């Protein structure tokens, strides 16, 4: 494939700026240079910056964080990559507003704490700036509706950066589903099963709370549904031929966090005997208008290996990510016997994955996602994940909590306002 063909296919894969050829950079200079900003330069924001610096035709104009040292570090990375040093905004908790008001940006990456995602994205859209929002895009259904209404009013697309939707295996499965290899889809399962107690919620060495820990004390809900459900909404044609109509969530007792602290730090640690509202396992069952069902598990507090437990089941077959297996009634060589998934992933590989990205962050998934986002910004077109799909993934956070509290199903909003009946699938076509 030629270099230009490589760019047009939407996958610009590089190990770093040092491996990006000068001819490739020059080839992209004739196109519109995307002027980007980053708000939040902690681990995730810095990771996004590293990927952006490997994509030609981007200028990092401004960066913002409450911690000036993190801003300086991010700016140094830009200089080391041969780019212009961005302007630093780091005065107070409202400095991001001033940055969005004064800087001439095409897009902004939002990698701050959860509760600030939606307010920053809303302000960006009102300034004509594409927001790329880390997950979840909002914490309340009200903010979710505001994102939709503001995007519709301003005409600015709004994308939640749900990277697992761009995984190579998930996109290959989407190709297979669209070819009809599983027949009519009837049921899916997904989970975010990831023991995060000892590194994300609490400090591994001291047990001190990190910024997400207070959510475990205050709420009982699916705190982090988007990685699990992101790929599934395309498999189920949600917002494009179908919609979720209700969600019923239940939560187990909260035992894992206290057990961890007593095991690791002893009974006298301040966090060992706190009462956490968050149940260890949250199970949500969602129904759709067209009769499909979906089960989602939140599972971040108990010892276990990582798994997303994706399962897709239709009238002609089934895919099981945890087994690494697939069965298709009309394609599998042995009747009612699993076959390995990997050969099918290779056979039905999506064209966004036409090179080896295994040495990139999250196996290249972040780079594929950001490159597609930047492509959309460059041409002032629709983002690969739109505001309606972002809304569906996001709303599960608050709705699951409401359902647990009521111990009853609750209605799931139609964020498309009826457009789902005529909307056509578009993600990753």
Distance in angstroms (rounded) separating the CA atoms of residues 288 and 200? 33
Question: Directed axis angle between helix 168-178 and helix 226-235, to 10°?
Answer: 20
> Number of structural domains, the chain?
2
- For residue 43, the domain's CATH number is 3.40.50.720
Q: Indicate if the pLDDT at residue 326 is higher than 70.
A: yes
**pLDDT classification of 339: cutoffs 50, 70, 90:** very high
Q: What is the mean pLDDT of the chain?
A: 93
pLDDT at 355: 87
**Domain encompassing residue 251:** 165-355+386-421
**pLDDT confidence bin for 28, thresholds 50/70/90:** very low
pLDDT at 12 over 60: no
Calculate mean pLDDT across residues 332-357: 95
Distance CA 10, CA 97 (A): 32
Sign of CA dihedral 399, 404, 405, 411: positive
pLDDT digits (tens, 9 = 90+) for 60-106: 999 999 999 999 999 999 999 999 999 999 999 999 999 999 999 99
Residue percentage of the chain with pLDDT more than 90: 90
For residue 192, give the 3-state DSSP assignment: strand
| Residue where a domain stops, chosen among 141, 162, 183 | 162
182 plus 207 within the same structural domain: yes
pLDDT at 23 over 80: no
In the predicted model, is pLDDT for residue 25 greater than 70? no
What average pLDDT does the segment 165-182 reach? 98
Q: Read off the pLDDT of each residue in 389-415 and give the average, rounded to a whole number.
A: 98
Q: For residue 196, give the CATH number of its domain.
A: 3.30.360.10
Do both 275 and 187 map to the same domain?
Answer: yes
**In the predicted model, is pLDDT for residue 31 greater than 70?**
no
Same domain, 155 and 176: no
pTM beyond 0.85: yes
Statement: residue 135 has pLDDT above 90: yes
Is it the case that residue 10 has pLDDT exceeding 50?
no
- Check whether residue 19 and residue 153 sit in a common domain: yes
Q: 165 with 362: CB under 8 angstroms?
A: no
Where among 162, 181, 206 does a domain terminate? 162
With b for 16 or more beta-carbon neighbours within 10 A and e for fewer, the 340-375 pattern comes to ebeebbeebebebbeeebeebbbbbbbbbbbbbbbb
Q: Which residue has the higher pLDDT, 362 or 125?
A: 125
> Do 130 and 177 belong together in one domain?
no
Closest among 144, 214, 219 to 394, alpha carbons compared: 144
Same domain, 193 and 299: yes
pLDDT in tens, 51-63: 999 999 999 999 9
Residues 170 and 139 in one domain: no
For the record, the structure tokens of 198 come out as: 């000892």
Whether residue 317 is found in the same domain as residue 414: yes
Q: Is a pLDDT exceeding 60 seen at residue 402?
A: yes
What would the pLDDT profile of 215-249 be if each residue is shown by its tens digit?
999 999 999 999 999 999 999 999 999 999 999 99
Q: Residue 222 and residue 418: Cα distance in Å, rounded? A: 26
Residue 9 has pLDDT above 80, yes or no: no
pLDDT higher than threshold 70 for residue 26:
no
Residues 293-314 have a mean pLDDT of 98
Asked whether residue 428 is domain-assigned, the answer is no
The pLDDT-based confidence of 356 (bands split at 50, 70, 90) is confident
- CA 73 to CA 11: how far, in whole Å? 27
Give me the mean pLDDT over the 167-193 stretch.
Answer: 98
**Arithmetic mean of pLDDT, 197-224:** 97
- Same-domain status, 157 and 169: no
């Amino acid at each position: 494939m030629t270099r230009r063909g490589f760019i047009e296919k939407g996958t610009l894969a590089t190990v770093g700026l040092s491996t990006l050829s000068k001819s490739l950079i020059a080839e992209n200079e004739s196109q519109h240079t995307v002027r980007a900003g980053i708000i939040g330069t902690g681990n995730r924001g810095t990771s996004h910056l590293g990927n952006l610096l490997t994509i030609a035709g981007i200028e990092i104009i401004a960066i913002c964080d409450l911690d000036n040292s993190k801003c300086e570090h991010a700016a140094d990375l830009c200089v080391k990559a041969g780019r212009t040093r961005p302007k630093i905004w780091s005065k107070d908790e409202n400095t991001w507003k001033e940055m969005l008001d004064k800087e001439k940006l095409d897009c902004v990456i939002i990698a701050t704490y959860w509760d600030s995602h939606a307010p920053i994205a809303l302000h960006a859209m009102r300034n004509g700036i594409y927001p790329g929002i880390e997950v979840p895009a909002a914490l309340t259904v009200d903010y979710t509706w505001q994102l939709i209404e503001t995007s519709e009013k301003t005409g600015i697309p709004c994308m939640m950066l749900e990277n697992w939707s761009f995984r190579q295996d998930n996109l290959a499965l989407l190709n297979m589903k669209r070819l009809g290899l599983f027949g009519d889809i009837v049921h899916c399962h997904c989970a975010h099963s990831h023991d995060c107690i000892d590194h994300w919620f609490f400090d591994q060495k001291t047990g001190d709370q990190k910024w997400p820990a207070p959510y475990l004390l205050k709420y009982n809900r699916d705190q982090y549904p988007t990685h699990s459900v992101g790929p599934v909404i395309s498999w189920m044609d949600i917002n494009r031929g179908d919609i979720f109509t209700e969600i019923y969530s239940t939560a187990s007792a909260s035992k894992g966090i206290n057990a961890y602290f007593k095991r690791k730090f002893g009974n006298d640690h301040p966090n060992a005997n706190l009462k956490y509202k968050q149940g260890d396992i949250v199970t949500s069952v969602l129904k759709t208008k067209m009769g499909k069902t979906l089960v989602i598990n939140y599972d971040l507090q108990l010892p276990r290996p990582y798994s997303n437990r994706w399962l897709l089941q239709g009238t002609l077959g089934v895919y099981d990510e945890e087994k690494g297996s697939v069965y298709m009634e009309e394609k599998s060589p042995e009747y009612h016997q699993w076959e390995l998934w990997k050969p099918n992933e290779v056979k039905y590989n999506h064209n966004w994955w036409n090179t080896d990205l295994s040495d990139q962050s999250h196996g290249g998934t972040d780079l594929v996602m950001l490159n597609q986002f930047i492509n959309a910004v460059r041409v002032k077109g629709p983002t690969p994940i739109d505001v309606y799909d972002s809304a569906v993934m996001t709303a599960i956070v608050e709705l699951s909590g409401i359902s647990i509290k009521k111990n009853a199903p609750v209605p799931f909003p139609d964020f498309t306002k009826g457009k789902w009946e005529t909307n056509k699938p578009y993600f990753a076509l």
